[in-house]
Amino acid sequence: MGMTITEKILAAHAGKDTVCAGEIIAAKVDIALGNDITAPIAIREFEQLGVDKVFDPTRIALVPDHFCPNKDIKSAQQAKILRDFSAKYGITHYYDVGEMGVEHALLPEQGVVTSGDLVIGADSHTCTYGALGAFSTGVGSTDLAAAIATGEVWLRVPEAIKFVYKGTLQKYVTAKDLILYTIGDIGVDGALYKTMELTGPVIDRLPMSGRLTMANMAIEAGGKNGIIVPDSVTKEFVEPRSERSPRYFTSDPSASYCMVKEYDVTDMELQVAFPHLPENTRPVSQAGDVRIDQVIIGSCTNGLLDDLRLAASVLKGRRVAKGVRLIVIPATQTIYRQAMHEGLFDIFLDAGAAISTPTCGPCLGGHMGILAEGERAVATTNRNFVGRMGHPKSEVYLSGVPVAAASAVTGKISSPAEL
C-alpha cells in the first residue's frame, strides 16, 4: 500500500519508514507557532515545566497579530509576554509591530515554513501551509508549550479525503469560492480529523495565493490539514525564500483515501457563506437583497497581494456606497509596501476605503472594525459564527474578494457583474 503526502511527511518526522491512518505518533516539529492570544498561555505552561531553554530558538515563531498593534491595556500586557519571552530565550522568529504581519501570510512569505515541513501552531488556521506541501495543523496552547520544550508533538495519523477539481473557473471565481463551495458540500465537520488533499487541473493552475486560501480553510470543514502536492508553482514560491531546504513529497498512486470528491467547477458561481456557519453557502445570484454596513478585505484567508490587486480591479473608478465602511487590510508589511507602490492604495482611497496596518483585528472581533448590534458585514475572512466580528446580534457573510469589493460599491451582497 502506498502512502499519501501527509503520511510520508508524518513518517519522515516520526523516524519511521511508514505510518498508517489511525496510528498515534510522536513527531519532530520543524516550526512551532504562537500568537498574542495563544502564546501567553503556552508560555505560562512552559514555565511550569521548569526547563531552562527552548528546544531550538530558531524553530519557534511568535507573531503578535491578533490584538496588535495593542488594542487596549490587557492586550498590551499579553503582547509583552511574547516580547519578553522572545528576548529571554533568543527567539529568532519574533515579529513585533513594524515587521509583524498576519501569521499565516507572514511565515510563508518570509520562508520560515517550507515544503515538507511539519508545523504546529496554536492557531487553527495553521493548516494554511499545506499549500506549500507541508504538514501543518492547529493545536492548543498546551501542545505548543510542550513543543517549545521538547520539539515534539503527538499526532494521530489522519485518514485522507481526495478532492479533485476539474473544469475552468469563470471570471471572478476564485480559490475562495472553491473552498466555500466545498465546505458547503461536505459541511463544517465533513473532513473532521481528516486530511483534505486538494488536487486536479484547477488546483494545478492556481497561483500560490489561491492555494494558501484553500488550505487555510480546511479547518472550516473540521480538517486536520489541507495539503497540495508540490509542483513548479510551489518550487518557484519556496526556493527563493526558504531559510531551510525544502523537501518535496508526493502521494503514491496506490495511496489510500477514505473518500474521493470530484467537482466540475466550470458552472460554479461566486459563493457566499451566510450566517452563522461557513457551510451555509449559496451562489451570489441566490443571495437576495442583503443590505450591508461593512466590508472587510484582508485576513489570513484573503489578505495577500493578489487579493488586493483583485479588489483594486473591481474598485477602480468606483466609490463605496453611502453608509458602508470598507476596510482593506494588507496581510504583511511587504504586501502593504508593494500595494502602495503599485498604486492600489490610491484606488482604495479614491473609492473611500480605510487601509489598515496588518492585523487579524476584525476577523475575530478583536478591533479595527467591530460590528454593532444588527449590523451586517461581507468579509473575505474565514468564520461567520455568532458574534465573530462583534455584537452577538451582528452577522458576517463570507465571500471571495470580488463579491466583497462589489458589495462595498452597491451596499448589498453583489457580484461584480452587477456593477
Q: Which residues bind another protein (CB under 8 A)?
A: 24, 37-38, 40-41, 44-45, 48-51, 66-67, 72, 74-75, 77-78, 121-124, 126, 138-143, 145-146, 149-150, 154, 188-189, 192-193, 219, 222, 224, 277, 364-366, 383, 385-388, 392
CA 347 to each of CA 31, 320, 341: distance values in angstroms, whole numbers, following the listed order: 38, 11, 12
Please give the sequence-ordered ranges of beta strands (E in DSSP) within 19-83, or none if there are none.
24-28, 31-35, 60-63
The C-alpha atoms of residue 4 and residue 253 are separated, in whole angstroms, by 9
Q: Does residue 253 contact residue 2 with C-beta atoms inside 8 Å? A: yes
The C-alpha atoms of residue 87 and residue 205 are separated, in whole angstroms, by 42
The C-alpha atoms of residue 381 and residue 81 are separated, in whole angstroms, by 27
Least distance (Å) between residue 408 CB and another protein? 24
Q: Does residue 284 contact residue 407 with C-beta atoms inside 8 Å? A: no
> 181: part of which helix (H) or strand (E)?
helix 175-186
Least distance (Å) between residue 66 CB and another protein? 8
Least distance (Å) between residue 154 CB and another protein? 6
Q: Does residue 201 contact residue 231 with C-beta atoms inside 8 Å? A: no
Least distance (Å) between residue 16 CB and another protein? 16
Residue 398 has φ and ψ, to the nearest 5°, of: -90, 140
Nearer to another protein, 132 or 147 (CB): 147
Decide: residue 374, CB within 10 A, 0-12 exposed, 13-18 middle, 19+ buried: exposed
Least distance (Å) between residue 134 CB and another protein? 17
Least distance (Å) between residue 382 CB and another protein? 10
Q: Does residue 209 contact residue 306 with C-beta atoms inside 8 Å? A: yes
Q: Are strands 281-283 and 271-273 parallel, antiparallel or unpaired?
A: antiparallel
Nearer to another protein, 41 or 273 (CB): 41
Nearer to another protein, 48 or 232 (CB): 48
Nearer to another protein, 193 or 245 (CB): 193
Least distance (Å) between residue 6 CB and another protein? 14
- Rg over alpha carbons for the chain, rounded to the nearest Å, is 20
Nearer to another protein, 36 or 306 (CB): 36
CA 361 to chain centre: 14
Nearer to another protein, 188 or 329 (CB): 188
Least distance (Å) between residue 361 CB and another protein? 10
Nearer to another protein, 188 or 228 (CB): 188
Nearer to another protein, 137 or 356 (CB): 137
What does the block give as the cell for 309?
490587486
